[in-house]
Each structure stands twice: as structure tokens, then as C-alpha cells.
Amino acid sequence: MGDPARFGTEVEWESDYEPYFVVHRSVPKYDTRFSGFGWNKVSHSVELRALGYRAVVLPGAFVVHTPHAPSPDITAFRANPHYRLCLALLKNEFMEDLRRKYNITLDDKPDSLYLGQAKSLLLNQAKDSS
């Protein structure tokens, strides 16, 4: 890539990576399944990775994140197990969609704890309603 001081330093993608990107408006938009708290920026970085984009830290550029009170969504995520289970199911669905859409396999780790809980909860609800 050339001189890192001029062109930036490439960083390796990691699972649940949540950087801020500067990209052209032609890249895919955020997946609308993820709104509020949970995996909106991560899903975007995963899709960009699937498309072959590389993450580069730009020299002399920075972002300022202003502290703020916790959002109602993070509060719900922390307090409500159904919120976490729903997010785990959405993550799994999203990753399967990417695999089909781009014919790729990403070396990600499924959210097995929450997925297991979600499957158990759904099975119990199905038994209760029969």
C-alpha cells in the first residue's frame, strides 16, 4: 500500500469489529434488521469484508465520540433476555444471507450461547401453545 504515513495502515478484520468507516456512498447500506442497539455497525463491516473491502486507519484523521446517556435500546439489551435472543437469531440469519448472497464462508463464531437459548425458548413456547 505504500508509505503508511501517507496512505494509512491496513488493519486485520476481527469478529464483532465495529470501526467507523469512510466509504463511497455506493457501498451497501446498513442492514435494516439491526436498528437500535446491537450489530448495526458490525453487520456493515462484515458485509464490506465479504465484498473484499479492506480496513485502513487513515493518517491524520480522527473521529470524536461524544459521551451520552445510555440509549433505551442498550438498557433493553442488558435487561431483557428476549432482546438478546432476538439479536442472536438476527445475526445468524444475516450471516446465512451473506453466505448465500456472496457465496463465501466467513470465519466467524456463531453466537452459540444466545442461539441455544433462543432455540430452547422457541421450543418451549411451541410446546406451551399446543
Beta carbons within 10 angstroms of residue 50's beta carbon: 18
Confidence of residue 32 (pLDDT cuts 50, 70, 90): very high
Look at residue 48 in the predicted model and tell me its pLDDT: 93
- pLDDT of residue 91 exceeding 70: yes
Domain tally, the chain: 1
Please, what is the average pLDDT of the chain? 84
What does the pLDDT look like over 56-68, one tens digit per residue? 998 888 888 899 8
Query: Of 15, 34, 44, 32, which Cα lies nearest the Cα of 77?
Result: 34
What does the pLDDT look like over 105-130, one tens digit per residue? 876 555 556 566 666 766 777 677 76
Task: Tell me the three cell numbers of residue 25.
Answer: 456512498
Q: Which domain holds residue 36?
A: 4-129
DSSP secondary structure letter of residue 89: H
Q: First CA to last CA across the chain, in angstroms?
A: 61
Task: Tell me the three cell numbers of residue 62.
Answer: 480522527
Q: Could you tell me the pTM of the whole model?
A: 0.76
